[in-house]
Chains A and B, each alone.
Chain A
Amino acid sequence: MDLKAKTYTIDVKHVTRVEGHGRIIVNTKEGVVQEVKLAITEANRFFENFVKGMQPAEVPWIVSRICGICCVGHQLTATKAVEAALGIQVSPQTILLRKLLTESQFLQSHVLHVYFLAVPDYLGVKSVLPLAKSHPDVVKRALRLKKLANDYTAMFGGRTLHPMSNTLKGFRKLPHLDDVAALRKRLLEAIPDVEETVRVAQTLKIPPYERETEYVSLKHPDEYALYDGEVYSSDTRSKVPVSRYREVTNEFTVAHSTTKWSKWHRCSYFAGALARVNNNFDQLLPQAQQTAKDLGLKVPCYNPYMNNVAQVVEVVHCAYNSVRMLDELLGSGLKEEDISYEVKAGRGAGSCEVPRGILFHEYEFDGDGRCSAANAIIPTSQNVNNIEQDMKAFVPKMLPQMSKEELTLHMEMLLRAYDPCISCSVHMLDVEFVD
């Protein structure tokens, strides 16, 4: 292939994310990569200012609005941070209910991302709409699983989006055990759909590009960490407490991005399903471990495109683990709990894994119980730096063997593989070439 003919600019404008907009720029000259940038131009959301002056219980409900897909994760992370600030202890029942909420959100989000955003790329269609024509059974299955996950969230959260049942110290409304048993039955009946999802994932031709990086996730001594744990690095193979999260994120600014970037032990790190599977593979349920093997995901895996596969592995884990937790709940029963708490001054941090990676919240309250400071660092912000590093590593490898169109598609697929909040809009990208 004539590399000298490869002089062009790829300019993917308006890569929209929940907080604003971004852009992919690739400049090549005679087959040599001159510039690769993931330029984020997101606007400030001001949530950290919205909550100033708010009472403790109000904060988690407000900040859940940061994201319509990760609303459960934002709410639970904020709840944990506020509880840490006020020294509130929660019961095993509350922790179990929150873990169920967490896994319902993982099922919702991963099914949505894998089927509606990732699979169309691999099956050569623009979106889920033509996919419904070419592969109606695939889309029907996706809708069934999404509906089940929505109902699952609504059962424990009170509604599908922005749950209102969870609050500080417990739950304002508990589900009926008959409904819990019915949900367990529906989850078991959905296992064939989950298995079929694995079979669909087996057919996807994942681009074979690898770049080793640092993988950061929560880690828990007793379980696959989604709701709780300490912050673990694959570089040091050690953990730090969530309260020291600023030592992890080390946020900094770059000229072409209005979102802050993060780095820990090297220039960038990866947060998300692949980081979790890499760091905590042994704690996945056996069915999920087998799925990883069936899908060719061998840890440590350094291929970021495999994040989609890791999400399917987590769908399997969450489906079976949800049944296990529902059994536990049905065995122990549910009782109303005292959710009153004492207001006092304090500062606390919380962290949960959300579908896109590790999420940190921190809040401070004055003696009147009014929020005086807040900080939220979302996974997409932490991943942006790593995505650009991937692009810089992969474009020189892709350039000799790909057309401009193929290269553009692979850059967009890479971005989508991370399932960033911008994934909500990457399918509406207008690609503009400037020769």
Chain B
Amino acid sequence: MVGLGSSLGGDDGIGLALVQALSGDAIFAARCVFLESADAATIASSFIEWGAPAILVDAANMALSPGEYRLFEDSEASAILKTSSVSTHGLGLAEGLELARTLGFGKSVYIFGIQPFDLSPGQGITPEMTARFPSLLSALKTACSRLIRG
């Protein structure tokens, strides 16, 4: 379970916060990692190093209502996640994953995406997202348990 995002970007920190909470559960604790503000090179090298299936938890613009979530495989998401920039600052999750895939990472990657309310700079998730947090955490735990069981 990989928490992604930035804790200084409002709801962009929701993935980090959820995986942080998940890590408090003994069932998941040893499986939780964080890639805060990670660039594509770090994401790609991390996947290659782990060599294991992953569930990424991150804020994602999926044209849903704020606070809603969706679980999907990365292959379904490429069109949504792709950005046009190809640079060291601009390379993000999509390119990092593609880089890892190109270099031979063949394991399953699921994304637990949460539609943010607000990504303005600032510490902590928004009050609206905080109110949704318990239900999101519950859904994430259910999804993780199901995927781990296979």
In the complex with contacts A128-B99, A136-B103, A425-B85 CB distance below 8 A: yes
Interface string of B46-69 (1 = CB under 8 A from A): 001100000000000000000000
Cβ-closest chain A residue relative to B99: A132
B104 within 8 A of A: yes
In the complex with contacts A143-B48, A147-B45, A129-B99 CB distance below 8 A: yes
B3 to chain A, nearest CB (A): 15
A90 within 8 A of B: no
- In the assembled complex, the Cα of A143 lies from the Cα of B86 at a distance in Å of 16
- In the assembled complex, the Cα of A128 lies from the Cα of B91 at a distance in Å of 10
A309 to chain B, nearest CB (A): 20
Q: How large is the interface on B (under 10, 10 to 19, 20 to 34, 35 or more residues)?
A: 20 to 34
- In the assembled complex, the Cα of A325 lies from the Cα of B104 at a distance in Å of 36
In the complex, what residues of B have CB within 8 A of residue A142's CB?
Answer: 41
Q: Please determine whether B87 and A143 come into contact, CB atoms closer than 8 angstroms.
A: no
B75 within 8 A of A: no
Q: Please determine whether B89 and A126 come into contact, CB atoms closer than 8 angstroms.
A: no
**Which of A69, A132, A424 has a CB less than 8 Å from the CB of B102?**
A132
In the complex, what residues of A have CB within 8 A of residue B44's CB?
Answer: 143
- In the assembled complex, the Cα of A132 lies from the Cα of B45 at a distance in Å of 13
Q: Please determine whether B103 and A116 come into contact, CB atoms closer than 8 angstroms.
A: no
Q: Please determine whether A136 and B87 come into contact, CB atoms closer than 8 angstroms.
A: no
B24 within 8 A of A: no
Q: Please determine whether A143 and B102 come into contact, CB atoms closer than 8 angstroms.
A: no
Cβ-closest chain A residue relative to B89: A424
- In the assembled complex, the Cα of A136 lies from the Cα of B104 at a distance in Å of 9
B140 to chain A, nearest CB (A): 25
B120 within 8 A of A: no
Cβ-closest chain A residue relative to B44: A143
Q: Please determine whether A68 and B89 come into contact, CB atoms closer than 8 angstroms.
A: yes
Q: Please determine whether B90 and A424 come into contact, CB atoms closer than 8 angstroms.
A: yes
B84 to chain A, nearest CB (A): 7
In the complex with contacts A116-B41, A143-B41, A428-B90 CB distance below 8 A: yes
Q: Indicate the member of A112, A128, A142 with the most B CB atoms within 10 Å.
A: A128
Q: Please determine whether A428 and B95 come into contact, CB atoms closer than 8 angstroms.
A: no
B42 within 8 A of A: yes
In the complex with contacts A132-B103, A136-B102, A140-B48, A146-B41 CB distance below 8 A: yes
- In the assembled complex, the Cα of A161 lies from the Cα of B49 at a distance in Å of 20
Cβ-closest chain A residue relative to B102: A132
**Which of B41, B48, B49, B87 has a CB less than 8 Å from the CB of A425?**
B87
Between A and B, 8 residue pairs with Cβ closer than 8 Å are: A68-B37, A68-B89, A116-B41, A117-B88, A129-B86, A140-B48, A143-B41, A423-B88
Show the binding face of A for B, using Cβ within 8 Å.
Answer: 16, 18, 68-69, 112-113, 116-117, 126-129, 132-133, 136, 139-140, 142-144, 146-147, 150, 160-161, 423-428
Kindly list 7 other residue pairs between chains A and B, CB separation below 8 angstroms, not including A127-B87, A426-B87, A428-B86.
A129-B99, A143-B103, A424-B87, A425-B87, A427-B86, A428-B84, A428-B85
